[in-house]
Structure 1
Amino acid sequence: MKNLFIALSFITFFHCSKSANSHEVKTNLIEIQDDKVDASVVFEVPPSPKEVPISGISAKAVNTEPKSSPLQSNTIIVKKVIKNGDLDIQVGDIKKAHQQVNEIIKSYNAYIQTERFNNTDIDERQFFTIRVPHKNFDGLINSFSNGMGSILSKNIASDDVTEEYTDVSIKLANKKIYLEKYRDMLRNAKTTKDMLEIQENIRELEDEIDVAEGRLRFIDDRVNYSTLNLMLYKEKVRSSATSKIGFGNRFGDSFTEGWNSFVAFFLGIISLWPFFLLIPLVILIWKKWRNREKKE
């Protein structure tokens, strides 16, 4: 009897343990299934302010400059200096001086951008606009100043544009960052209105980027190549036969002006011929009136 009771107790305990384990397995299965269902739900991560759809923010908010950029923190600023000069030289022979200019320009890897020649009765003037590499600018000036002729005037100016160049570069980098943000937003745009607004912002940014890049290219060109305005001057020898300010020429000019004045006066009188036809008529009327007065 005792053995039978022990056997029944063991069977009952085993059956309860199995039921508990089965219940635990079912419970775990249900929890796993619940986890699978929860995992299938899409939870969108809240976007950053720059990634909010265009309809949710204003364009001005997107175009605000960031507080910092890689260019501001990790950039070595290179000094940008534009050098220009004006040099006037009096020479004895324009043609010979022109040849010397060509030789000097060639030796300093420079080139003539514009050239102009004026020839008057008083002097000859040859004008050059020369572009020269920045590092050769001082040497070019010294070569022109030594031996070519007498220096009439010399003016050298340096303009530091480092601040402007850095400012434009930083703004350009920021605009490129925003341009990429807008392009990402355009790929994720869901309505036609959002697409049109984003495309308009992209177009404006691209225009601003083109202007900024053009300005940087212009500054780089002026920095890398300095500009020199050179004038060669030769005064002509004056003589009594050729000079227009001599006595002979002044006498001839006065005689010509007098003759021209006389001709103009004579032609002016002739132009009054209708009035001359009225003079005999006026005299005739006056005489008749006098005769009548005498008879009375």
Structure 2
Amino acid sequence: MISNRYRGLTAILSFAALAIVVACGNDDGASAAKSVEQARVETFAARAAMNAPPGRGGQTVADTDMFVAAGQSQPDAGVGRPNVPDPVERKLIRHANATVEVDSVDAAIERLVALASELGGYVSSQNRSLLYDERLRGSVTLRIPGTHVDETLDTVRELGRIRDERVWVDDVTEEYYDLSIRLDNARDERGKLREILERARTVEDLLKVQRELSRVTGEIERMTGRMRRLTNQIEFSTITVEVVEKPRLVADTDTAIGKIVAAFRDMVDVFWSTIAAIIRFVGVAIPIVIVVALVVWILVVVVRKWRRKP
């Protein structure tokens, strides 16, 4: 009777031990999945805290949602707010366009290129072309440090007569700080996911964490590229200058002086036209003269040989 009791007790203890082992295995897999979900919740709450409207007691709506989602009690007011500079440093992108009439397009472009180098900037693009009236036109796009924009525009005005000028500013302060906070949050999320990856014990949990880690890494790379472009545009203003040759002098032929100027201009045009015609004639005539001379020489040689025959 006692032996049967011991056998029953042993069976009960063995079943209980097996149940504990199975439960522990399930808890390990659930723990990794729960850790990934917790990282997502914390990151989402941090992102929402950037733009959430303030709630009662100085807290934001995002703060409340974060602690509800995490199953925690709310802390005192002022805890968990995003770290935004106060007062905020404005992030401005300055642009300028100008059109200038100059005596020499090449000289003006050379001056602008040298100016960009002197001020620590660089030339983004430049080109030259001819207008319908044979005047030369050029365009230069300069990237100048933001602190030297006014100095650059003063130099542009000194090149010649300003036909058009436009200066404007893009305020990207909100976008800049929003992107900066989202980038910091994404990096924090990546760090948590790496810690979870080290604790993953099953293949399924490992694959889940790796997929989430790849997604977050891709977001970080995209935001980093955008941040670099914004920073470059903030630090280097864009100034596009179009330089055009001044219109040629057109004489008023209704006055005596105008008639004299027009006659003199016509005389100069006729002179150069005559020189050009002579050059063309010589260029055409020389080959013909050479061919004719060669033919005559051959005929002379043939006739002389024919006459010498008895």
Preserved CA contact (<8 Å) 1:91 1:97: yes
Residue 92 of structure 2: aligned partner: 81
Q: Secondary structure at the match of 2:138?
A: strand
Alpha carbons of structure 1 residues 60 and 85: separation in structure 2 relative to 1, 3 Å: same
Residue 141 of structure 1: aligned partner: 153
- Please state if 1:153 is matched with 2:164: yes
Amino acid at match of 1:159: D
Larger radius of gyration: 1
Q: Secondary structure at the match of 1:237?
A: coil
Residue 21 of structure 2: aligned partner: none
| Structure 2: distance between partners of 1:223 and 1:216 | 10
- 1:201 aligned to which of 191, 197, 212: 212
Q: TM-score, normalised to structure 2's length? A: 0.55
Give runs of aligned pairs for residues 231-270 of structure 1, distance below 5 A.
231-237=242-248
User: Offset of 1:236 from its aligned partner?
Assistant: 5.0
Alpha carbons of structure 1 residues 214 and 132: separation in structure 2 relative to 1, 3 Å: same
Q: Which runs of 5+ in 2 are unaligned?
A: 1-29, 50-62, 64-78, 251-261, 263-310
Quick one: higher RCO (CA 8 Å, sep 6+), 1 or 2?
1
- 2:33 aligned to which of 28, 33, 54: 54
- 2:82 aligned to which of 72, 82, 95: 72
Residue 109 of structure 1: aligned partner: 120
User: Offset of 1:235 from its aligned partner?
Assistant: 4.6
Residue 128 of structure 1: aligned partner: 140
- 1:225 aligned to which of 232, 236, 239: 236
Superposed CA RMSD? 2.7
Q: Which runs of 5+ in 1 are unaligned?
A: 1-50, 241-296
Number of aligned residues = 189
User: Offset of 1:85 from its aligned partner?
Assistant: 0.7
User: Offset of 1:169 from its aligned partner?
Assistant: 0.8
| Structure 2: distance between partners of 1:235 and 1:141 | 20
Preserved CA contact (<8 Å) 2:179 2:223: yes
Amino acid at match of 2:45: E
Q: TM-score, normalised to structure 1's length? A: 0.58
Residue 58 of structure 2: aligned partner: none
Amino acid at match of 1:115: Q
